[in-house]
Structure 1
Amino acid sequence: MADNATSNRKRCSLNAFISHAANTTDVVPEFPARNGPQRLVAAATKQPKRRQKVILEPGHSALDWARLKSSGKDLRGVPQLGRYTLTEIKEHRTENDAWTALNGKVYNMTSYVKFHPGGVKDVMRIAGRDGTKLFMLTHSWVNFEFMLDACLVGFLVPE
């Protein structure tokens, strides 16, 4: 009988605790605290810059570029592959005549400029120079050798 009384008391205590917990108005502290160091540090960290969407002209999608590449049209603008220095590449840095070097290969990207998803202004940042470093910083996952294979004009050589 003593065990039964102890068991009843435990049950009553448990029920009282559950009842108290259900009716309590205690507030759980907010984490991180509104003015706590975790929030202050998070607010002070530099937020990533949002990419601006660029609206391409009709007929300038990635699929349109693939069609143009496979059309047989001459996108190189030179009769044969050559050897070019950075000085020679610098002469080709306008929207109507844009060359760049990427990983030692030289591309005439004039035909591609208006197809670039980031817009003309963005792709012109590598025109007339060795764009390898900037390209790899922003597009390391892109297979430029495939994308620009029809635009290959030659190879970069030392001055």
Structure 2
Amino acid sequence: MSDRKIQLEKLLIKNKVKHAKIQLIDDLKNYYNIDISDKKFFDFLKTEEVYQKVYELIKTNDIKSFKIPYSEEILYSKIEFIFEYYKSYEQETVLFYPPTAGLYSRNCDQLILNYPLALVLSLLESKNIIMKFLLDMQDDLIIVSENYKFGFVMSVDEYSDITIEYWGK
């Protein structure tokens, strides 16, 4: 592949990421009144690596998990349980991958990237954001510490059952 073609592909990715960031900021503000405009985004070029590492981690025996039927009351109590479980890490920096499919379905011109964008936040900040859009979740939500010491993945399946897989303490 020529150097010029490689440069053009990198430029296209960079441009898509830039527009996806703007769109995510706007969508969270418009639909949930969540302002992330001053938040730092994780390097998109490293996102695939993080994603693969997280999904490798949840295939190990060191993962705890539970599956619950969709219920607003149960869902909130389980999220509270997870954040209470990680209470000692509240101020630690995490990579927060919001579940953006719900936003995508509202906006037909949504940019689709191979991997979602991640915000760099404290665990407590991510909790405050999650609680605002929890009931609209339609895709995986991932929170992982920068060193993979702790984190969780919350998924919704086609039957609206919710699975939370978590590790570390």
Question: Could you state the TM-score of these two structures normalised by the residue count of structure 1?
Answer: 0.32
Task: Kindly indicate which of the two structures has a greater share of residues assigned to helix.
Answer: 2
Task: Kindly indicate which of the two structures has a greater share of residues assigned to strand.
Answer: 2
Question: Could you state the TM-score of these two structures normalised by the residue count of structure 2?
Answer: 0.30
Highest CA radius of gyration, 1 or 2? 1
